[in-house]
């Protein structure tokens, strides 16, 4: 017979406890890895020596680089994930994850080489995780970037049921002599804007507030898509088109329009004393952004410092090169607008929209 103290406390037992009893399913994790492997294989490229499955992935910088400089970037998807959970839309947030990092690496003039992901959840749902990683693999494939590693962390009690978090890590390379710094940007240079695919992955705390405010009065469609598809449209991947333009034209600076919008991101690539003067109305406002602005009741300044507002990447180029550069970008599938010029800053803000 058990001692009295043990009889009064059923949690004290001699029965064995497994990791699965504690909430971690090793078999589910193994099943996920097996489903990921063929997706990752589609992203393989020159330089990959060892990918998914080992303790560390191995990558050799391609020998065509004479003085390679590695450029790294990391990011997440933010509160856009809350809508993915609520609407059960998991197949594109992986593209967002890749895009947020590879587009950042790209603005240094770098070619993204490889990518690693981190997927964390309270309880692993293999189908959901596979949908997410399928999006990651698709994003890597479209960017010419190898998915060579990652981590799936099942942590009971850390996340609410059905929720997860994502982080991504990209590494690219650029010839030392070709690093884009924006140092030679000067007055008279032209600012080209590459159209975004939608909200991308920034400003979703406000997007969710707008959805909450609209209640049952949400539009059924926006920009030819269902409302949910328009909102969840993944971040555009600019890698292949911009690399083609970089190979053909002396681009001076690139800016990925992420958190902080046009007003906060363009100044990051301008030298001291220079300002970007953008022409209001030089690119169209989509139905989605018009709905967000009307629902949030915010002015143009707040729109341009919260959202990309229709421009996902900015290209600064000499005026003599602008037309040809735009043509190259359009030939690669981009929608390109001439949105402004560079001028001496003086007493103005670093970005003026007028």
- CATH 3.30.420.40 correct for 26-178: no
Rounded (10°) CA dihedral 24, 25, 31, 36: -10
Q: Are 120 and 160 in contact (CB under 8 A)?
A: no
The crossing angle, in degrees rounded to 10, of helices 239-248 and 126-143 is 10
pLDDT surpassing 70 at residue 12? no
DSSP letter string, 175-191? EGGG----TT--TT-EE
Mean pLDDT of all residues in the chain?
92
Which percentage of the chain shows pLDDT scores above 70? 94
Choose among 164, 179, 166: nearest CA to 117. Answer: 166
Per residue in 128-167, pLDDT tens? 999 999 999 999 999 999 999 888 999 999 999 999 999 9
Per residue in 229-271, pLDDT tens? 999 999 999 999 999 999 999 999 999 999 999 999 999 999 9
Q: Mean pLDDT over residues 31-51, rounded?
A: 82
Hunting for tokens 């996902």 — which residue is that? 312
pLDDT surpassing 60 at residue 4? no
Q: Mean pLDDT over residues 166-178, rounded?
A: 97
Residue 208 burial (C-beta neighbours within 10 Å; 0-12, 13-18, 19+)? middle
User: What does the alpha-carbon distance between residue 141 and residue 136 come to, in Å, rounded to a whole number?
Assistant: 9
User: What does the alpha-carbon distance between residue 64 and residue 62 come to, in Å, rounded to a whole number?
Assistant: 5
pLDDT surpassing 90 at residue 19? no
pLDDT surpassing 90 at residue 278? yes
Dihedral of CA 117/120/123/128: which sign?
negative
Per residue in 187-215, pLDDT tens? 999 999 999 999 999 999 999 999 999 99
- CATH code for residues 190-353: 3.90.650.10
Per residue in 295-320, pLDDT tens? 999 999 999 999 999 999 999 999 99
What is the reported pLDDT for 24? 66
Pairing relation of β-strands 190-195 and 311-317? antiparallel
Identify the three-state secondary structure at position 286: coil
Q: Which residues pair with 164 in a beta bridge?
A: 121
Please list the residue range(s) of the chain that carry CATH number 3.90.650.10: 190-353
Rounded (10°) CA dihedral 226, 240, 305, 272: -170
User: What does the alpha-carbon distance between residue 25 and residue 154 come to, in Å, rounded to a whole number?
Assistant: 8
Please list the residue range(s) of the chain that carry CATH number 3.30.1330.10: 26-178
pLDDT bracket for residue 6 (50, 70, 90): very low
pLDDT surpassing 60 at residue 11? no
Q: Mean pLDDT over residues 5-16, rounded?
A: 55
Rounded (10°) CA dihedral 127, 133, 135, 139: -170
Higher per-residue confidence, 151 vs 6: 151
pLDDT bracket for residue 99 (50, 70, 90): very high
Total-model pTM: 0.91
pLDDT bracket for residue 8 (50, 70, 90): very low
Phi first, then psi: give them for residue 71, nearest 5 degrees.
Answer: -125, 125
């Amino acid at each position: 017979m058990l001692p009295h103290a043990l009889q009064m406390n059923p949690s004290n037992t001699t029965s064995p406890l497994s990791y699965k009893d504690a909430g971690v399913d090793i078999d589910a994790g193994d099943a996920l890895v097996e489903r990921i492997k063929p997706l990752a294989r589609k992203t393989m490229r020159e330089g990959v020596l060892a990918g998914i499955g080992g303790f560390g992935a191995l990558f050799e910088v391609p020998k065509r680089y004479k003085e390679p400089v590695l450029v790294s970037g990391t990011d997440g998807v933010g509160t856009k994930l809350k809508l993915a959970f609520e609407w059960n839309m998991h197949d594109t947030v992986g593209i967002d994850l890749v895009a947020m990092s590879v587009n950042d690496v790209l603005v240094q003039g770098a070619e993204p080489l490889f990518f690693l992901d981190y997927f964390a959840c309270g309880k692993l749902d293999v189908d959901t995780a596979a949908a997410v990683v399928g999006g990651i693999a698709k994003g890597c494939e479209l960017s010419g970037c190898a998915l060579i590693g990652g981590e799936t962390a099942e942590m009971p009690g850390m996340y609410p049921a059905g929720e997860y978090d994502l982080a991504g890590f990209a590494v690219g390379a650029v010839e030392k002599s070709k690093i884009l710094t924006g140092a030679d940007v000067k007055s008279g240079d032209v600012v080209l804007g590459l159209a975004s695919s939608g909200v991308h992955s920034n400003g979703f705390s406000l997007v969710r507030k707008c959805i909450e405010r609209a209640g049952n009065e949400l539009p059924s469609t926006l920009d030819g898509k269902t409302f949910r598809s328009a909102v969840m449209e993944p971040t555009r991947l600019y890698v292949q088109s911009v690399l083609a333009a970089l190979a053909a034209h002396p681009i001076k600076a690139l800016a990925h329009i992420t958190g902080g919008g046009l007003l906060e991101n363009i100044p990051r690539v301008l030298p001291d004393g220079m300002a970007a003067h953008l022409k209001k109305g030089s690119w169209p406002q989509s139905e989605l952004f018009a709905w967000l602005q009307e629902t949030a009741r915010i002015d143009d300044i707040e729109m341009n410092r919260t959202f990309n507002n229709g421009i996902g990447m900015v290209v600064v180029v000499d005026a003599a090169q602008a037309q040809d550069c735009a043509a190259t970008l359009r030939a690669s599938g981009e929608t390109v607008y001439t949105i402004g010029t560079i001028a001496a800053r003086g007493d103005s803000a670093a970005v003026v929209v007028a």
